[in-house]
Chains A and B, each alone.
Chain A
Amino acid sequence: MELYTDLIAVVDLDAGEVEEVDIEEDFIEKNIGGACANNALLSQYPDSVILGTGVLTGTLFPGSALGVVTAKKNGTVCHSAFNWFSGPELKLSGFSFVVLKGKAENPVYLWLHDEIADIESTDLWGKNTWETTAYLREELGENRIQTLVIGEGGEKKSGAALLVNNYWGTDDRNGLAAVLGEKNVKAVAMRGMGEVEISEPEEFISAAEEVLTGLKSKIQKKGAPVEGLEAITQRFDACFNCPYACRNFVETGENEGVVIFERHLKDLMAHGLDVKKAAETLQTCYQLGVNPKYGKDPNALTTMGSQPAQPLEDKEGWYYTLGVCPILDQFGIDEEAAVRAITAGTGLEISADTLDDIVSRL
């Protein structure tokens, strides 16, 4: 299937086995990808955690860094996004979607690479997210491996648990790290050496370049500077193929720092911390895998009770289905060009109305 690598990994954690299922064209035509496709897989495999990529994830379409994790929490289907380079690496690992069903008897991590999904027993339980990522990169021999990892928050099934991508917090607004903790999954490691085919490359490139040109004309400033952090902001980083470098790397010590997700920083400031203290605290939150939305004491956040589900807002469902970062919405993405990119990339006849209908099911 064009714009996807070929496989869905159905990981049976009870049995310690992986089934590889081909992605059918009909499945993409009906569900497009990302959150919508995850929903369909969750219906097929209830009580699972689904990791999925959007139809444009990992392509030359601007901002196509997004992957989506989906699971039920207190009976409600919840979606959380992960980006940086993990969406593209998941797709290029050969598995555009991963279903985690059942529960491992003992802690495991999943290693996705070269169309192989390995379930590995691990004694990483109890390690913080930074230690875990460093260990996995060393053990698996690649610095470019992307990890989705849980910390103490996820292990203790805290309502404030936060899924961490490598070292930095994701937009896991629904505490789905705790659902991974319930399944005894400490981490998912991904490295992609696969290929994603394109149905009509020239048309796809034309649409993607049009969107990029439009975005560049609207992104006027360098990065996304945060008031009060200018002096300790080392550089502005971007997620995969994104023209808006909104991820500030803020120095918190010698040769050390934290990539700021602005919403998390603002949450800490709303709890009364000054901006510099908030940046330092955020680093601890990410190490422990907890969401600062619910408080300013990272250690207290590791044992918090269940929190209400946070539904997708505004156009987020559309972005979560395409695999494009919704932060770009403030600049106005050319939706007609996006639909053209999907059509040219997949070879499927998908109209804007069809796409909207599918997204409206979320």
Chain B
Amino acid sequence: MVDSRSFLTLSAITTYPKEDGKPLYYVIGLSCQVITMIEIDPQICTACGACEVACSLYREEEVFTTMRSSIILHREERKNYYGVMLKREGEVLLGRPEGVEVMKEGESSDTGGGGKPILLREPCDNCTDAMCVRFCPTGCLKEV
């Protein structure tokens, strides 16, 4: 369930040439980049959908909508079966009553038609101080 990753990234090798064209020196840039990811605890989700609006607002900045979010609420209302799906680069994180599962692109799941819209969305860009987490009222979503 925890999906935190840290990367030490070789970010740049820059060459400053002398007048004769030979290198004078090299600068090697190293940076430590912490990628924040979202953890889902579906057992405490109440299906309020705040995460959808919050994520959409982060992406669009000046409008409320549910259509831009990387996270989608899935609900089968008569059975009260619900959970959230988070689109990530190349995969979808499913948080549903059975637990949390990562589906790779191209894999099928039993989410039925409800899972299709997420494939059209932009993947989560691992923003920090994520709006979806800030406005999740139950703590179902966490940054890790």
Report A's interface with B, CB cutoff 8 A.
58-60, 62, 85, 88, 92, 130, 134, 143-144, 166-167, 192-198, 201, 205, 208-209, 212, 215-216, 222-223, 234-243, 245, 249, 255-257, 259
Contacts and interface: CB of A to CB of B under 8 A. Distances in A.
A200 to B, nearest CB: 9
A240 B48 contact: yes
Nearest to B50: A241
B114 A195 contact: no
A195 B49 contact: no
B135 A195 contact: no
Nearest to B43: A235
Interface residues of B, number: 30
Nearest to A84: B77
A194 B65 contact: yes
A242 B135 CA distance: 10
23 contacts: A58-B53, A60-B50, A60-B53, A143-B76, A166-B77, A167-B77, A167-B78, A192-B66, A197-B63, A198-B63, A208-B135, A216-B137, A223-B46, A235-B46, A236-B46, A237-B47, A238-B47, A241-B53, A241-B137, A243-B137, A245-B138, A249-B80, A257-B80
B16 interface: no
A208 B134 CA distance: 11
B64 interface: yes
Contact of B137 (A238, A255, A259): A238
A249 B61 CA distance: 35
Interface string B55-66: 001001111111
A55 to B, nearest CB: 12
A317 B57 CA distance: 29
A237 B80 contact: yes
Contacts of A130: 78
A196 B64 contact: yes
